[in-house]
């Protein structure tokens, strides 16, 4: 069976990005993921129909190389899911100026340049599939700020704003939306005290897991009438 037009997932080598890649392959999409660090299971992913491209979005050169490789190898795209992310606090940064620069490079500059570079490919995908999508993975803190991750929060707010601008620029053939999670899943090194404190921040007080994010992505991709919107996944945290 011929696969659907490709979808790119940046930062797709683990956690939510990887879960989304596997779900979209199951829906017969051709899926392209980017990763920074090679993993042993990437050969298995390639055999499952997931193309894996190493890319470093923290530098302009890394973005340039990624754009050139996609433009060389593909004629159309059904979507781009901007999931690549860096999460560093001011407390753990040796140089806050470099931290701010890196956060904006990864979360704002890279998606901005990629969206512009792939406009023609997305329009071609829209003609094939009936529509094309861009999804920006932002964060709950983009609207509320963070006292521990100031540079990170500001850059995610910038990515949220890109959603509105690109939705206007690319309408009506390309839908552009954002998903703003709070907690989806804990890291293995999160201790019990941190986990409980985080759970208590939301009304539903649960760790929903990566599939909650996958369902949100699938909803946006299947919708034909939502653009320029941010879908919150916060368990009612805004009411606590």
Instruction: List, for residues 88-106, the tens digit of each pLDDT value.
Output: 999 989 999 999 999 999 9
Sequence-ordered strand ranges (E) for 61-160 = 79-82, 132-137
Structure tokens at 204: 């539903």
Pairing label, strands 174-181, 50-54: unpaired
For residues 136 and 160, is the Cβ–Cβ distance under 8 A? Answer: yes
Structure tokens at 188: 């293995």
* Upstream peptide bond of 172 is cis (omega within 30 degrees of 0): yes
At 25 the pLDDT is 96
Longest dimension (CA), the chain: 52
Q: Point out the residues of the chain with pLDDT beneath 70.
A: 1
At 189 the pLDDT is 87
| Gyration radius of the chain over CA positions | 17
51, 87, 146 from 31: Cα distances, Å: 6, 25, 34
- CATH code (residue 148): 3.40.50.720
Structure tokens at 159: 């990515």
Q: Three-state SS for 121? A: helix
Is 225 marked active-site?
no
Average predicted confidence (pLDDT) for the chain: 96
Q: What is the number of residues in the chain?
A: 240
Sequence-ordered strand ranges (E) for the chain = 4-9, 29-35, 50-54, 79-82, 132-137, 174-181, 230-233
Number of domains in the chain: 1
At 108 the pLDDT is 98
* Cα–Cα nearest to 93, from 47, 150, 13, 36: 150
Q: What is the pLDDT of residues 132-181, one digit of tens each?
A: 999 999 999 999 999 999 999 999 999 999 999 999 999 999 999 999 99
For residues 159 and 179, is the Cβ–Cβ distance under 8 A? Answer: no
What per-residue string of b and e applies to 112-121 under the rule 16 or more CB within 10 Å gives b? Answer: bbbbebbbeb
- Burial class, 152, CB count within 10 angstroms (exposed 0-12 / middle 13-18 / buried 19+): buried
Catalytic one of 35, 152, 194, 225: 152
- Burial class, 93, CB count within 10 angstroms (exposed 0-12 / middle 13-18 / buried 19+): middle
d(CA 55, CA 30): 19
At 72 the pLDDT is 98
At 38 the pLDDT is 87
139: domain range? Answer: 4-239
């Amino acid at each position: 069976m011929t696969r659907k037009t490709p979808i790119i997932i940046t930062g797709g080598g683990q956690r939510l990005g990887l879960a989304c890649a596997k779900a979209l392959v199951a829906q017969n999409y051709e899926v392209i993921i980017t990763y920074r660090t090679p993993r042993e299971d990437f050969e298995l992913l390639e055999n499952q129909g997931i193309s894996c491209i190493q890319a470093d979005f923290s530098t302009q050169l890394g973005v340039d190389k990624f754009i050139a490789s996609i433009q060389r190898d593909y004629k159309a795209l059904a979507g781009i899911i901007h999931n690549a992310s860096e999460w560093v606090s001011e407390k753990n940064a040796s140089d806050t100026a470099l931290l701010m620069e890196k956060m904006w490079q990864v979360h704002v500059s890279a998606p901005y340049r990629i969206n512009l570079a792939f406009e023609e490919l997305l329009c071609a995908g829209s003609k094939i599939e009936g529509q094309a999508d861009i999804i920006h993975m932002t964060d709950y803190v983009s609207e509320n700020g963070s006292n521990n991750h100031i540079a990170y929060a500001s850059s995610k707010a910038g990515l949220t704003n890109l959603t509105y601008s690109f939705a206007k620029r690319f309408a009506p053939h390309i839908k552009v939306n954002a998903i703003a999670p709070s907690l989806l899943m804990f890291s293995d090194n999160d201790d019990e005290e941190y986990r409980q404190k985080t759970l208590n921040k939301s009304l539903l007080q649960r760790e929903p897991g990566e599939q909650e994010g996958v369902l949100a992505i699938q909803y946006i991709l299947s919708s034909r009438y939502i653009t320029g919107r941010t879908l919150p996944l916060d368990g009612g945290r805004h009411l606590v």
